[in-house]
Amino acid sequence: MAVNVETLDKLERKITLELPLEAIRKEVDERLKRLQRQVKMDGFRPGKVPLSVVAQRYGYSVQMEVMNDQVGEAFSRAVAEAQLRVAGQPRITEKDGAPEGVLAFEAVFEVFPEVKLGDLSALELEKLDAAVDEAAIERTLEILRKQRRTFHVRPDGEPAQDGDRVTIDFEGKIDGEPFQGGQATDFSFVLGEGQMLQEFDDAVRGMKVGESKTFPLAFPEDYQGKEVAGKTADFLVTLKRIEQQQLPEVDEAFIKSLGIEAGTLQALREDIRRNLEREVRFRLQARNKTVALEALSAAAELELPKAAVEAETDRLIERARNDLKQRGVKDADKAPMPRELFQQQAERRVRLGLVVAELIKANNLRATPEQVDAHLRELASSYEYPDAVVNWYKSNPDRLAEIEAIVLENNVADFIFGQARVTPKTIGFAELMGQG
């Protein structure tokens, strides 16, 4: 029988479902009989409870279960017959005025939209490229040395310099009143490495052991401590200890401690270069992919299903709550999460997902096993035991699916760049890495 589909809005549809009462009663009776063989009640042997007693206790819940199952099956059959792609859960309500012996329901739902892809050949895209230079290798080598540095007390009378580890007492006040987190004793940090706000570094730099100083500090408007953000505090700081750093020599022992068996500077630099080049490829791929996918999304025409946006908003809120939990925020489940804060992001994600899916379908794009394996191998190559990492991913379908999704997105981006008008742009290594 043909399904009558009524259009209520651009993507909203309504269909009527009819269920014979006799079929419902028959299924209820069969389930009650099966339940009778399993149910246990005081005063009756197992499997010997009278059907009337079982029906009296469980009849309503079984009937609701049957109705829900049959309505769901009827809805699935109807949308399949009408060849509709349903977005989200339908709203199903009982309909009055049904024929005798029939229960009628109305199902209101949204369908996925028709997606009209834009002309990819009309897109003008900038594609980034970058290379690992000698300065990047030197900077990484210095980071490796700093990770293994030691500190020794600076001789008496010498002032604190950048790179020194200083130990201080401090007390901060706003409008003459102490504030939470504004005091500390025997607090240590490395000067000039961004561990403290700039005003703090500037105040301590040049001080000597035993000296005290009062200075103003203006907290940024976006400072993580909301109670002091945008306010100016007066700090009293006393310098108690200065330790100067000592970087290890880049000798054979140092190089071998990094896992470079050859123990030579050349081998270490080559290893650094390989690691940086891999990181550069991943970062370039991510940034170029974002450019390509955003251009694809902007060029497409489609309506967004509200149900899909609502579901995506729920996922983003849940992710935000989980993030708060991992940071140790108390009562993260009760933290206010206004839906409007996530609305725009949810709409963007739903739109992009629908557009990318249409492009994949239209052009038969896919992630081949060879591509997935190659991506896994490159990802795992930075670990001490690459084969174990690869096996870890492959042993779990969900983890492997994440890699497949990344590879598929890369294929989509490559396809877009292959169709669009592309302008190459070379950027520096530091800019790519966000090193300023």
Instruction: Give residue 305's pLDDT band: very low, low, confident or very high (50, 70, 90).
Output: very high
Q: Does the structure show a pLDDT above 60 at 85?
A: yes
Mean pLDDT is highest, among 24-33, 97-106, 157-166, 323-332, for 157-166
Environment class of residue 423 by beta-carbon count within 10 Å: exposed (0-12), middle (13-18) or buried (19+)? exposed
Q: Does the structure show a pLDDT above 90 at 334?
A: no
Average pLDDT, whole number, for the chain?
91
44 vs 121: CA distance, rounded Å: 77
Check residues 187 and 1 and name the one with the higher pLDDT: 187
pLDDT of 436: 52
Token output for 359: 């492009």
When pLDDT is averaged across residues 6-15 and rounded to a whole number, the result is 92
pLDDT of 1: 45
Check residues 297 and 49 and name the one with the higher pLDDT: 297
- Picking from 24, 8, 39, 141, the residue whose alpha carbon sits closest to that of residue 71 is 24
pTM, two decimals, is: 0.76
Sign of CA dihedral 50, 54, 56, 60: negative
**Domains contained in the chain, CATH given:** 5-111 (3.30.70.1050), 120-132+261-432 (1.10.3120), 150-246 (3.10.50.40)
Instruction: Give residue 38's pLDDT band: very low, low, confident or very high (50, 70, 90).
Output: confident
When pLDDT is averaged across residues 221-241 and rounded to a whole number, the result is 90
Summarize pLDDT for 186-201 with one digit per residue, the tens: 999 999 999 999 999 9
How does strand 86-95 pair with strand 12-20?
unpaired
Sign of CA dihedral 28, 30, 33, 34: negative
When pLDDT is averaged across residues 251-273 and rounded to a whole number, the result is 94
Check residues 158 and 97 and name the one with the higher pLDDT: 158
Q: Does the structure show a pLDDT above 90 at 332?
A: no
Q: Of the given ranges (31-35, 40-44, 310-314), which has the lowest mean pLDDT?
A: 40-44
Assess contact for 42 and 57: CB atoms under 8 A. Answer: no
Residue that has been written with the tokens 């977005």 in this structure = 87
Assess contact for 371 and 412: CB atoms under 8 A. Answer: no
Q: Does the structure show a pLDDT above 80 at 160?
A: yes
Percent with pLDDT over 70 in the chain: 99
Instruction: Give residue 226's pLDDT band: very low, low, confident or very high (50, 70, 90).
Output: confident
Summarize pLDDT for 340-355 with one digit per residue, the tens: 999 999 999 999 999 9
